[in-house]
Amino acid sequence: MNTCFEKLPENFDFEVEIKKRLDTVLSLQAPSGLFMASALNVSTGYNKAWLRDNYFMTLGFQACGEWQPVHAAGKGLLQVLCKHQDKIKWAIENEPQEAWQFIHARYNPVTLEEYHEPWGNKQNDAVGEVLHLLAACDCSSHNFVETNLERGLIQLLVDYLYSIKYWESPDSGVWEEDQELHASSIGACIAGLKAATALPYITVPANCIENGEAALVALLPRESERKFTDLALLSLQYPFGVLGKTTCAKVVKNIEYYNLRDKGVITTTIKTLTA
C-alpha cells in the first residue's frame, strides 16, 4: 500500500502541534458554543454551524481531555434543539415529505435560526451524531445535560429517528448529495440510539436499533446503492463502533483498493458492481 506520509523532523513536538490545531478549531467557536465551518466575517457562505461539524469538531477536544469546548458546543446544540422543538414535534407526529420539513443540517451560529435557501437538509447522520454526543456525555463524568427540558430534547431526537424510520429513510448523507439510503447515516443513528439506551430517563422504541442493524447489514460493505466505497464508511468503526471485525476489515480493504491515491484518499468510488 502506498503512503502519503512524509518522515517527520526529529524536533517535531506533537504536543505543540496538537495545541496549535486545537487553537485553530477553537477560534471557530461562536459565543453560542457552536463551531462554525469558517470565521464569522467571511463572505464564502461557510460562516454557518453544521450539526455534523459540531459533532466531529468535539472529538479532538475529547481525545485531548479538553472538555470545556465540548460542553459549550453541547449546550449550543441543546439551544438549537430547544429553539426548534416545535418543528421536531411536528415531524414526529406527521410524515415529512420535503427536505425542509426535517431537522435542518445547519444554523446561524448567533441567532440559531435555520437557513432557508435550497439545501440537502435531510441528513439523518447529523441527527444521530448529535444524539450520540449528548447521550454519551450524559453517561460520563463530563455531563452537561442538566435540566428536565434538556433531557426531554434527547428523547425528542430518539422519537424523531424512530418516527422517520431512519433505517429505510433516504437522506443526503455526509457529503450532502442526492438522497439515498446511506450506510454511514444508518450507522450514526444506531450509535446515537445505543448510547441513549444507557440513560435511565430515555425510552428507545422496540426494534428501533434492530431495524437499523438489519438495514446496515443489507447495505454493507457498500455505502449506498450507487456508491460502492466511500470514506464516510470509516466513521462506522470510529467513532461509532458499529462494525464487526470482519466487516471492518472488508470496508477498509475496499477503500484502500478503490479510493487510496498517492496523496490521500478520495471520498467516493461509484461502482455498479455488487460487493
Q: For the chain, give every domain's residue range.
A: 14-221
Which string of b and e fits 155-168 if b means at least 16 CB within 10 Å? ebbbbbbbbbebbe
Question: Per-residue pLDDT averaged across 235-242, rounded?
Answer: 97
The percent of residues in the chain predicted with pLDDT above 70, rounded, is 96
Residue showing cell 460493505: 221
Cell of 233: 464508511
Q: If DSSP codes are grouped into helix, strand and coil, which group holds residue 264?
A: strand
Residues 159-196 pLDDT 10s: 999 999 999 999 999 999 999 999 999 999 999 999 99
Decide if pLDDT at 2 tops 80: no
DSSP tag of 265: E
User: 274 pLDDT exceeds 70?
Assistant: no
Q: For the whole model, what pTM was predicted?
A: 0.93
The tens digit of pLDDT for each residue in 50-69 reads: 999 999 999 999 999 999 99
pLDDT single digits (tens) 128-169 = 999 999 999 999 999 999 999 999 999 999 999 999 999 999
pLDDT in tens, 22-60: 999 999 999 999 999 998 888 888 999 999 999 999 999
- Between 11-20, 90-99, 147-156, 216-225, the lowest mean confidence (pLDDT) is in 11-20
Q: What nine digits make up the cell of 57?
A: 469538531
Residues 64, 22: contact at Cβ < 8 Å? yes
Architecture of domain 14-221: Alpha/alpha barrel (1.50)
The pLDDT assigned to 275 comes to 45
∠ CA(266), CA(272), CA(275), 5° rounding? 80
CA distance 135 to 252: 28
Res. 113: pLDDT tops 60: yes
